[in-house]
Amino acid sequence: MARILLAEDEENLRKTLKLNLELEGNEVLTAGNGHEALQIFPTARFDLVILDVMMPELDGFAVCQAIRLRDRDTPILFLTARNAGTDRVQGLKLGGDDYLAKPFNLEELLLRVRILTRRRNRYPSDVYERSIGDACNIGPFRVNFKTFEIIGPDEQTRKITQKEVLLLKLLTEQENEVVSREQILEKVWGYDVFPSTRTIDNYIVNFRKYFGDDPREPRYFHSVRGVGYKFTGK
């Protein structure tokens, strides 16, 4: 299943596309204009955005530009009645991945959607989980990723959640590297609603408590303002 944001101001076409995309097994959220699309986009993780170019007030090109300021990876497919080569080039330059001129063949649209969403989901989270070891050491602590436990130097154990396990795996695997929010959303939250920056910060705060990290001068878990998060030193 893919989650798709469809922005199309023509109501009948919007309903028809939503129905057919859902018959393909997708979850589809719709917007009737560009402003509405930009309000919906940050609320969930999408595998594809379909944008009508000629929407009133805020057209598809402007929406694409706004999305690319915060997200470089989510595929964007343009739909437009304008089939000029200059428009195609402009859309691709702004960060679009594909371009389909109206009127279009429905089967062709569905095929393009399948290709774009398959590319987006080439590395599902279960593959990621299997690719990493079962445990790691953080200072005098040992994390067991299979049992969801942290074992302290006194052999006391603390249970942690699945999200905490996945985030710890991601950070410790990329030791000394900054992990972006986009990577965390892709690997840890998957199809769930986007967490806010504050939500991820709270996880980092909890990790500092679990592993005795000084919050004023953290040794293991760092927030890199405006970029992401970093784990240093096992």
pLDDT for 18-38, tens place per residue?
999 999 999 999 999 999 999
Residue 74 contacts residue 120 (beta carbons within 8 Å): yes
Q: Please state, as a whole number, how many other Cβ atoms lie within 10 Å of the Cβ of residue 152.
A: 15
So what's the pLDDT on residue 168?
93
Under 8 Å between Cβ of 35 and 57: yes
Q: Which residue spans within 33-93 are E strands per DSSP?
A: 48-52, 76-80
- C-alpha 108/C-alpha 194 separation (Å) is 31
Which of the residue ranges 43-47, 113-117, 132-136, 224-228 has the most confident prediction, judged by mean pLDDT? 113-117
DSSP secondary structure letters along 105-135: -HHHHHHHHHHHHHHHTSS-HHHHHHTS-SE
Q: What per-residue confidence (pLDDT) applies to 125?
A: 42
Query: How high is the mean pLDDT of the chain?
Result: 85
0.95 exceeded by the pTM?
no
Provide the pLDDT for residue 127. Answer: 34
Query: 231, exposed or middle or buried, with CB in 10 Å at 0-12, 13-18, 19+?
Result: buried
- pLDDT, tens digit, for every residue of 145-197? 888 899 998 888 999 988 899 899 999 988 999 998 878 877 787 655 556 66
CA 185 – CA 178 distance, rounded (Å): 14
Residue pLDDT, tens place only, 100-125: 988 889 999 999 999 998 866 544 44
pLDDT at 193: 57
Burial of 130 (0-12, 13-18, 19+ CB in 10 A): exposed
